[in-house]
C-alpha cells in the first residue's frame, strides 16, 4: 500500500473515531477508499503503459542509430528529469572558476609540501608539526592574489604583441616549475598514460546512494568525491550527510549551495573549507528541504579545490585522465535525457544536440576511463538498480560530459 492510500485509510479511521458512528463511517468512507484505490491503480497502469511506450521508442532509436547501450524500464523513467537531477552552474562560473582554480592550485602545493615534510619527519621519528598559518587565511590571500593577477592580465591587453608573448612565456615557465609531484598525494595508484583505469575497480569508491526525488545531485556528487578521496588517502570509509548540505551549505558570500530544486557542488567544496562535512548518522537524508539546525563540528574539511579547466569548460580526455590520477575521482556534470534514464548497460553514446557546453542538468562523479570503450566510467546517485549497479560507461564527448569538472583534496589529520 503506497503512502497516499495509507493516508486515505487513516483518514477514514479518524473520521469514524470522531463521529462515534463506526458502522456508518466505515460504510461511507470505506466506499470512497475503494474508489480511491481503483483510481490509483488506473493511474499506475497508465504510467506503466507510458513508460513502456517510452522504452520502446528509445529502443527503436538505439536500433536506428546503432547505439551501444541497452534500454529498460528503470525506476528513473517514472519521474520527470528535473525531479532526479539538479545541477545548476553559477551564471559567472567561468570567472569564478579561474580565481578558484589558481588559488586552489597554490593551496594544493602547500598541502603537498606539508605532506612531504610530515613523511620526512615520520621517517626520522618526529611528531606533528603545527601549521605556520591558518589555511583559511592563506586561501583568502591566494584568492586576492589571483584577482590582482587577473586585473594585471586585463591591463596588458593594450601592450605590444611582443610584450604579451613574453609575459605568457614567463607564466608558462612558472607554471611548469610549480607542478606538484602527482604521485605524492595518492601513492602512485594511477597512471594517466594507461589505456584504462578507474577508482571503482581499484576499490576506492564508497557505496552508490539514491537521491530519490529531491534535486540534490550536487550534494551527492560532492559527498561521493570526498568519500572516495578520503578512503584512498586514509583507508577509512565515510558516509557523509547530503541532507546537511541541503539544509545548511552556503559559499563564503552566504549564497546557498542548493536545495531540492538544484544547486552546485563547487559551493559545497567552498563550504567545507570553513565548515567540515557531517556524517549521515548525525543528519539523515529526508528527500526534502529542511531548516539548518545545530550539527556536530568535524575535521572532515577541504584543504584545496579547483576546476580541471580554469574556465570550468569541458576538459580534453588527456586533461581528464591527468586530473583523475592527480586528484582522484572528479565532480562533474552531464546532460540527462530519457535515454540516459533508461540506461541499463553497455556504452552510452547518445550524443544529443546541445546549445553549448553549459547545457547540462545533472551532477555525477567521473571515476575512470577506458580507451578501448572510448568512454569514462561515471558514478550516479540513482541507486544500484539503475545502469550497471549505479555506474555508467559514457563515451567521450557525449551529452556534454565533463562540464564544470572539479577536483578537491581533503585536509589531513596527520599534520
SS (H, E, C) the chain: CCHHHHHHHHHHHHHHHHHCCHHHHHHHHHHHHHHHHHHHHHHHHHHHHHHHHHHHHHHHHHHHHCCEEEECCCHHHHCCHHHCCCECCCCCHHHHHHHHHHHHHHHHHHHHHHHHHHHHHHHHCCCCCCCCCCHHHHHHHHHHHHHHHHHHHHHHHHCCHHHHHHHHHHHHHHHHHCCCCCHHHHCCCCCCCCCEEECCCCCCCCCCCECCCCCCHHHHHHHHHHHHHHHHHHCCCCCECHHHHHHHCECCCCCECEECCEECHHHHHHHHHHCCCCECCCCCCCCCCCCCCCCCCCCCCEEEEEECCCCCCCCCHHHHHHHHHHCCCEEEEECCCHHHHCEEEEEECCCCCCCCCCCCCEEEEEEEEECCCCEEEEECCECCCCCECCEEEEECCHHHCCCCCEEEEECCCCC
CA angle at 406 for the pair 183 and 214, rounded to the nearest 5°: 130
380 catalytic, yes or no? yes
Average pLDDT over residues 333-354: 98
Tell me whether residue 267 is in a domain: yes
Read off the pLDDT band of 154 (50, 70, 90): very low
| Judgement on whether residues 44 and 184 belong to the same structural domain of the protein | no
| Judgement on whether residues 161 and 103 belong to the same structural domain of the protein | yes
Among 198, 247, 361, 380, the active-site one is 380
> How confident is the model over 189-219, as pLDDT tens digits?
789 999 999 999 999 999 999 999 999 999 9
| Judgement on whether residues 58 and 103 belong to the same structural domain of the protein | no
| Judgement on whether residues 56 and 168 belong to the same structural domain of the protein | no
CA-based nearest residue to 371, from 329, 325, 331, 317: 317
pTM of the model: 0.79
Tell me whether residue 81 is in a domain: no
pLDDT beyond 90 at 14 = no
Domain span including residue 21? 3-66
Residue with cell 553497455: 346
| Judgement on whether residues 28 and 150 belong to the same structural domain of the protein | no
234 catalytic, yes or no? no
Among 223, 361, 362, 400, the active-site one is 362
| Judgement on whether residues 49 and 125 belong to the same structural domain of the protein | no
217 catalytic, yes or no? yes
| Judgement on whether residues 243 and 170 belong to the same structural domain of the protein | yes
| Judgement on whether residues 145 and 183 belong to the same structural domain of the protein | yes
| Judgement on whether residues 132 and 204 belong to the same structural domain of the protein | yes
Read off the pLDDT band of 20 (50, 70, 90): very low
Tell me whether residue 78 is in a domain: no
- Cα within 13 Å of Cα(8), Cβ side: 18
Tell me whether residue 345 is in a domain: yes
Give the count of domains, the chain: 2
Tell me whether residue 415 is in a domain: no
Tell me whether residue 79 is in a domain: no
CATH number at residue 378: 3.90.70.10
| Judgement on whether residues 41 and 113 belong to the same structural domain of the protein | no
pLDDT beyond 50 at 171 = no
Among 217, 223, 260, 398, the active-site one is 217
> How confident is the model over 107-117, as pLDDT tens digits?
999 999 988 88
Tell me whether residue 223 is in a domain: yes
Of the residues 49, 66, 83, the one at which a domain ends: 66
| Judgement on whether residues 185 and 111 belong to the same structural domain of the protein | yes
| Judgement on whether residues 55 and 158 belong to the same structural domain of the protein | no
> How confident is the model over 61-116, as pLDDT tens digits?
999 999 999 999 999 999 999 999 999 999 999 999 999 999 999 999 999 998 88
Tell me whether residue 46 is in a domain: yes
Amino acid at each position: 500500500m503506497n503512502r497516499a492510500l495509507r493516508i486515505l485509510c487513516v483518514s477514514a479511521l479518524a473520521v469514524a473515531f470522531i463521529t462515534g458512528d463506526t458502522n456508518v463511517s466505515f460504510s461511507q468512507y470505506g466506499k470512497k477508499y475503494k474508489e480511491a484505490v481503483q483510481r490509483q491503480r488506473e493511474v499506475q497502469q497508465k504510467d506503466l503503459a507510458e513508460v513502456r511506450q517510452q522504452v520502446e521508442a528509445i529502443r527503436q532509436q538505439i536500433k536506428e542509430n546503432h547505439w551501444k547501450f541497452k534500454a529498460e524500464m528503470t525506476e528513473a523513467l517514472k519521474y520527470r528529469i528535473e525531479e532526479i537531477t539538479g545541477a545548476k552552474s553559477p551564471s559567472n562560473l567561468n570567472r569564478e572558476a579561474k580565481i578558484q582554480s589558481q588559488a586552489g592550485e597554490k593551496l594544493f602545493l602547500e598541502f603537498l609540501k606539508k605532506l612531504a615534510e610530515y613523511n620526512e619527519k615520520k621517517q626520522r621519528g618526529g611528531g606533528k608539526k603545527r601549521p605556520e598559518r591558518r589555511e583559511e587565511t592563506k586561501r583568502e590571500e591566494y584568492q586576492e592574489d589571483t584577482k590582482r593577477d587577473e586585473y594585471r592580465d586585463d591591463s596588458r591587453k593594450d601592450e605590444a604583441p611582443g610584450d604579451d608573448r613574453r609575459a605568457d612565456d614567463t607564466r608558462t615557465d612558472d607554471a611548469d616549475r610549480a607542478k606538484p609531484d602527482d604521485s605524492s598525494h595518492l601513492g602512485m595508484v594511477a597512471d594517466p598514460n594507461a589505456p584504462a583505469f578507474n577508482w571503482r575497480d581499484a576499490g576506492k569508491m564508497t557505496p552508490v546512494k539514491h537521491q530519490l526525488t529531491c534535486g540534490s545531485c550536487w550534494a551527492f556528487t560532492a559527498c561521493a568525491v570526498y568519500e572516495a578521496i578520503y578512503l584512498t588517502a586514509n583507508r577509512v570509509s565515510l558516509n557523509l550527510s547530503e541532507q546537511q548540505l541541503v539544509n545548511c551549505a552556503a559559499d563564503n558570500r552566504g549564497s546557498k549551495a542548493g536545495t531540492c530544486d538544484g544547486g552546485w557542488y563547487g559551493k559545497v567544496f567552498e563550504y567545507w573549507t570553513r565548515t567540515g562535512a557531517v556524517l549521515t548518522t548525525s543528519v539523515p537524508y529526508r528527500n526534502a528541504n529542511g531548516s539548518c539546525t545545530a550539527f556536530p563540528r568535524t575535521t572532515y574539511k577541504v584543504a584545496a579545490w579547483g576546476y580541471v579547466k580554469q574556465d570550468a569548460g569541458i576538459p580534453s580526455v588527456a586533461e581528464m585522465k591527468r586530473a583523475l590520477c592527480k586528484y582522484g575521482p572528479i565532480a562533474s556534470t552531464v546532460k540527462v535525457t530519457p535515454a540516459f534514464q533508461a540506461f541499463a548497460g553497455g556504452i552510452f553514446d547518445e550524443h544529443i544536440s546541445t546549445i553549448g557546453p553549459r547545457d547540462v542538468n545533472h551532477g555525477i562523479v567521473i571515476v575512470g576511463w577506458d580507451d578501448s570503450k572510448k568512454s569514462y566510467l561515471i558514478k550516479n546517485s540513482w541507486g544500484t538498480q539503475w545502469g550497471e549497479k549505479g555506474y555508467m560507461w559514457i563515451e567521450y564527448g557525449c551529452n556534454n560530459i565533463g562540464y564544470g569538472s572539479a577536483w578537491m583534496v581533503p585536509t589531513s589529520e596527520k599534520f
